[in-house]
Structure 1
Amino acid sequence: MSVQTKGTDTAGKPAVRKARIPGPPAGEDRGSRSPSRRGAAAPYLLLLPALLATLVLLGWPLVKNGMLSFQNLNPRQLIQHLTEWNGADNYKEVLTGADFWHVVERSVVFTAINVVLIMVLGTLIGLLLARLGRKMRLLLMVGLVLAWAMPIVAATTVYQWLFAQRFGVVNWVLDKLGWHSMADYNWFGTQTSTFSVIILLIVWESVPFVAINLYAATTTISKELYEAASLDGAGAWKSFTSVTFPFLRPFLYATTFLEVIWVFKAFPQIFALNEGGPDHLTETLPIYAYVQGVGNQHFGVGAAISFLTIVVLLVITSYYLRMVLKQEEDEL
């Protein structure tokens, strides 16, 4: 590429010279300097296997469950391979019944109590790990990992043995400490005591995850910030509120969100301990859906309850996410 420029020749007369402006090398297309389409599509291609697996393993069961929720599906229909569509009758039956709303209220309260205890205890233990010496920290982390890695059914069996009425360790210890009325106490005989054992089990299983991850988050905080806070006269509580907590806030938001989902859908702990008893008083939504669908063999009703369970969980998590996003916008 060239342009004309004015100059003078040897005789002093104006002359026109051509100046050459560097251009792209021969054979190189101008469009090749911009990111190629193949490079732009690479992230989507890498995500494609995960998306396909999600659609197959989660999407199709969800669609199938939604279809079942609009069918009258009982043992007779299963044996005769009949498909009887009944519209929204299953949803009407569930939503107009008082039992469903009692279970929803119980599930929300149960989830809230567990998540609060898990986050408070997990945060305290995580902060303790950050202050312990190397040997004590390693010992405590080994105990946390062992508790977290124990299979759910195995942990539930251990708790059944600990709180057994006749030969349970807990009753034996309480009796030796002077509470003789607890010698043969039935921990699974009332709603409050049964939920107490279930909450203790779920909190025991969940605290290690929160504690270890919070400790990992504290290692990213620069020590210079604590030194600057101490120079300003900040004590332990002021250092936590002004230095530690702002750095840990995103982690606490994300972990709380995960714990809400995990606790809300807890099934094996409740079912293995007492199958939602006594008198169905400890049934949460997952247990209620299983009992109505599989236990009573009303599969269409069970599918409707499970679909409504997903809706309730989405409502809870969407409210929490909206609150988190609003706080982040206020901080900006």
Structure 2
Amino acid sequence: MPTVHAPTREAGADHRPATPPVIRAGGRRISRAWPYLLIAPAVAGGVFLLLYPLLRAALISFQHFRMGELIRGGAAFIGLDNYRELLAAGEFWAVVLRTFVWTAINVVLIVGISTGIALMLVRLGRRMRTALMSVLALVWATPIIAATTVFQWLFQSRLGIVNWLLVRVGFDSFEGYSWFANGTAMFGVLVVLVVWQSVPFAALTLYAGLTTIPVELYESARLDGAGGWQVFRQITFPILRPMFALITSLEVIWVFKCFPQIWVLGQGGPDGATTTLPVYAFKIARALHRYDLGSAVAILTVVILTVALVGNLRRMLKQEGADT
């Protein structure tokens, strides 16, 4: 019987298994869209929670919407009547001016103090820097209402620590002084509170930016005889200009729409001395049940903020283009 030989394999032949089938174009499209599908529910929820209240407030601002319409419905459209009523009222413009003053004072103090703290953090030793950053983080993490309540206790007329300390150092006129009965004093207390709450975020953000600046730039500037202010003006600020612009914009938003602190401490008083646009809108809707007028104030607040921030963004982009 003849012997059957198995077929021999040629030297150098490729014995790898067959390649898998090529993924179809439809599968590639699904794989590329998968990350967007995963975040779609969160994006949709965020858009709904942010956009729906704004659109609803805009709709109410064009309607006759008061307590009766809130209960039975059927609000009638009245066009721009609510806006005409607001713009013709002297009280509205007084509140707008007060809001701009409030925002300017707070933002200037926040950015200035935060810059100083950030520069100090760079120069501190490791332990002191860690301790200070921990304190800043704790201040930042403190709930707004809790911090506002603490400030109420600190500035109480009879049992407050602030009056006690001022009297101990020789200011006897602060014995039993009522901070919350005087408009200017109340305004000052609120400024201290908001600045205290806002500085940690800005300071830590600026410190993170300062750590990215090469040390060689500072060494070269000092060898050329530049002082501290010259180093900041010619090196630090130009490099961190976008970050300063971003922080300023965020703080403008934060301060301009500030509501809980003002409402908890004095509900915009005394005599409206601390009433800003958000507080004014709430007071109109709550006390007068003018939900249409309150919504108009809220929409105008959004418009004012948008115009201010768009102008700041355009100026920042123009400056960046000039630098490049």
Q: TM-score, normalization: structure 1?
A: 0.85
Match of 1:229 among 217, 221, 225: 221
Task: Give me the whole-angstrom Cα distance separating, in 2, the residues matched to 1:220 and 1:279.
Answer: 48
Task: Give me the whole-angstrom Cα distance separating, in 1, the residues matched to 2:322 and 2:42.
Answer: 34
SS, match of residue 188 in structure 1: helix
The CA deviation string for residues 88-128 of structure 1, in whole angstroms up to 9 with x for no partner, is 22111111111111111110111011000000000000100
Identity of aligned residues (%): 49
How far did 1:277 drift? 0.3
Letter in 2 for 1:275: Q
Task: Give me the whole-angstrom Cα distance separating, in 2, the residues matched to 1:249 and 1:78.
Answer: 48
Match of 2:64 among 56, 59, 72: 72
Task: Give me the whole-angstrom Cα distance separating, in 1, the residues matched to 2:223 and 2:73.
Answer: 77
Gaps (5+ residues) in structure 2? 1-20
Match of 2:274 among 274, 282, 299: 282
Determine the structure 1 residue equivalent to 2:108: 116
Task: Give me the whole-angstrom Cα distance separating, in 2, the residues matched to 1:328 and 1:102.
Answer: 36
Task: Give me the whole-angstrom Cα distance separating, in 2, the residues matched to 1:49 and 1:80.
Answer: 34
Task: Give me the whole-angstrom Cα distance separating, in 1, the residues matched to 2:112 and 2:217.
Answer: 24
Determine the structure 1 residue equivalent to 2:81: 89
SS, match of residue 78 in structure 2: coil
Match of 2:124 among 117, 132, 140: 132
> In the alignment, is residue 156 of structure 1 matched against residue 143 of structure 2?
no
Task: Give me the whole-angstrom Cα distance separating, in 1, the residues matched to 2:232 and 2:191.
Answer: 29
> In the alignment, is residue 296 of structure 1 matched against residue 305 of structure 2?
no
How far did 1:37 drift? 6.1
- The answer to whether the 8 A contact 2:60-2:291 is kept is yes
Task: Give me the whole-angstrom Cα distance separating, in 1, the residues matched to 2:77 and 2:207.
Answer: 53
Task: Give me the whole-angstrom Cα distance separating, in 1, the residues matched to 2:131 and 2:189.
Answer: 26
- The answer to whether the 8 A contact 2:187-2:273 is kept is no
SS, match of residue 179 in structure 2: coil
Letter in 1 for 2:239: F
Q: 1:280 to 1:238 in 2, by over 3 A?
A: closer
Task: Report how many aligned residue pairs link the two structures.
Answer: 303
Task: Give me the whole-angstrom Cα distance separating, in 1, the residues matched to 2:154 and 2:202.
Answer: 25
How far did 1:250 drift? 1.5
Letter in 2 for 1:238: Q
Task: Give me the whole-angstrom Cα distance separating, in 1, the residues matched to 2:279 and 2:71.
Answer: 25
Report the aligned-residue RMSD: 2.2
Task: Give me the whole-angstrom Cα distance separating, in 2, the residues matched to 1:80 and 1:236.
Answer: 67
Q: 1:39 to 1:323 in 2, by over 3 A?
A: farther
Q: Which has the larger radius of gyration?
A: 1
Letter in 2 for 1:277: G
Match of 1:100 among 82, 85, 92: 92
The CA deviation string for residues 116-146 of structure 1, in whole angstroms up to 9 with x for no partner, is 0000000000100000001111111111111
How far did 1:40 drift? 7.2
| Structure having greater relative contact order (Cα 8 Å, sep ≥ 6) | 2
Greater Cα offset, 243-252 or 78-87:
78-87
Gaps (5+ residues) in structure 1? 1-26
Determine the structure 1 residue equivalent to 2:7: none
> In the alignment, is residue 306 of structure 1 matched against residue 298 of structure 2?
yes
Task: Give me the whole-angstrom Cα distance separating, in 1, the residues matched to 2:276 and 2:192.
Answer: 16
